[in-house]
């Protein structure tokens, strides 16, 4: 390992790895850059807040947060969380956390805590791409990895944002960490306009599908609306969960933008942010 790389790792350990409060304000100098990181439109500090609906009814709030950078072994990862909380006839309190590589965007660990009415469950997966195995830390379950660069449901949502997303195209991957979930497909359905509390957005609408269990299982349906700009922010999500007639939907309420780790992506994001600020001030 080079001295420069070692210094970068120390910076991550000392300045970024501690968990930040959800929605905390980040500054650019809090997030180091790394030319080896994959080019992405997202980075630490990004915090999206949503209204949660069950069918037509407002029942709570959700968030999708890029909390920071964290070491997993000798790999630097993004730590991202998604929370969905609602109270109606039945309760919904789901929390997902993923740790995925800043270079390969592969998942190294994934936790899922679910409370959906009468169903509760916690799962904690770790991935070993050298041994090509996944294992649950909360029990003795394990299985083969179908890919040395696996992803989970939340990593997948960030990974989608790096794709071209051309309308009419279907992207297919065999990277879900459980073989029975593959192939994973992303159908790009159309372009649309979505009005939210955070404003009106031109969006690209996609339909993800896993062949097995998970947030986007084939048994249900899902639609994700991403902004049709360089940010690819998730504006709206609808998931047809079996326990909730009418499905669960997330409607964007507020945006806190983050800071990409790749220096080229950081510069592009800052230029785009400056253009939006200048346009808004006119």
| C-alpha to C-alpha distance for 124 and 99, rounded to whole angstroms | 12
Residue 29 has pLDDT above 90, yes or no: no
Instruction: List residues bridging with 112 in a β-sheet.
Output: 96, 123
SS3 content of the chain, % helix, strand, coil (to 5): 15, 45, 40
| Residues in the chain, total | 282
Confidence of residue 15 (pLDDT cuts 50, 70, 90): very low
Whole-number Å distance between alpha carbons of 242 and 108: 29
How much is the pLDDT for 54? 77
Work out how many domains the chain is built from and give that number: 1
Cβ-count burial 118-149 (b if 16+ within 10 Å, e if not):
eeeeeeebbbebeeeebeeeeeeeeeebbbee
- pLDDT of 72 > 70? The answer is yes
* Residue indicated by tokens 């509390």: 197
pTM, two decimals, is 0.87
Contact 273, 259 (CB under 8 A): no
pLDDT band at 281 (very low <50, low <70, confident <90, very high): confident
Average pLDDT, rounded, for the chain: 85
pLDDT at site 134:
97
**SS3 assignment, position 111:** strand
Q: How much is the pLDDT for 87? A: 67
- The Cα-based distances of 111 to 79, 99, 127 in angstroms read 11, 9, 12
List, in sequence order, every residue forming a beta bridge with 235; answer none if it has no partner: none
Residue 205 to residue 129: CA distance in whole angstroms: 32
Of the candidate ranges 72-86, 160-174, 188-202, 255-269, the one whose mean pLDDT is the lowest: 72-86
pLDDT value at 3 more than 60: no
Residue 147, domain extent: 3-280
Higher pLDDT, 251 or 55: 251
Range 246-273 average pLDDT? 92
**pLDDT for 26:** 72
The mean per-residue pLDDT over the stretch 215-227 comes to 76
The mean pLDDT value for 191-209 works out to 95
Query: CB-based burial of residue 46 (10 Å sphere; 0-12 exposed, 13-18 middle, 19+ buried)?
Result: buried
């Amino acid at each position: 390992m080079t001295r420069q790389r070692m210094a970068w790792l120390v910076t991550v350990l000392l300045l970024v790895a501690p968990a930040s409060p959800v929605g905390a304000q980040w500054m650019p100098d809090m997030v180091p850059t790394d030319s080896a990181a994959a080019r992405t439109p997202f980075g630490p500090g990004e915090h999206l807040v949503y209204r949660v609906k069950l069918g037509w009814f407002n029942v709570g709030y959700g968030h999708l947060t890029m909390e920071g950078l964290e070491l997993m072994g000798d790999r630097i990862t993004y730590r991202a969380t998604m929370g969905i909380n609602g109270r109606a006839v039945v309760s919904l309190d789901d929390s997902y956390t993923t740790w995925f590589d800043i270079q390969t965007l592969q998942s190294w660990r994934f936790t899922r805590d679910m409370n959906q009415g009468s169903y509760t469950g916690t799962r904690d997966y770790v991935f070993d791409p050298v041994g090509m195995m996944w294992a649950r830390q909360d029990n003795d379950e394990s299985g083969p990895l179908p890919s040395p660069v696996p992803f989970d449901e939340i990593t997948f949502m960030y990974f989608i944002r790096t794709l071209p997303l051309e309308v009419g195209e279907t992207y297919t991957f065999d990277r879900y960490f459980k073989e029975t979930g593959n192939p994973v497909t992303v159908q790009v359905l159309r372009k649309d306009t979505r009005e939210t509390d955070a404003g009106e957005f031109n969006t690209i609408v996609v339909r993800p599908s896993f062949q097995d269990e998970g947030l986007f299982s084939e048994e249900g349906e899902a639609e994700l609306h991403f902004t049709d700009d360089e940010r690819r922010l998730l504006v709206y999500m609808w998931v047809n969960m079996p326990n909730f007639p009418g499905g669960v939907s997330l409607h964007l309420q507020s945006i806190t933008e983050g800071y990409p780790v790749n220096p080229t992506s950081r510069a592009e994001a800052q230029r785009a942010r400056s253009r939006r600020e200048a346009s808004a001030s006119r």
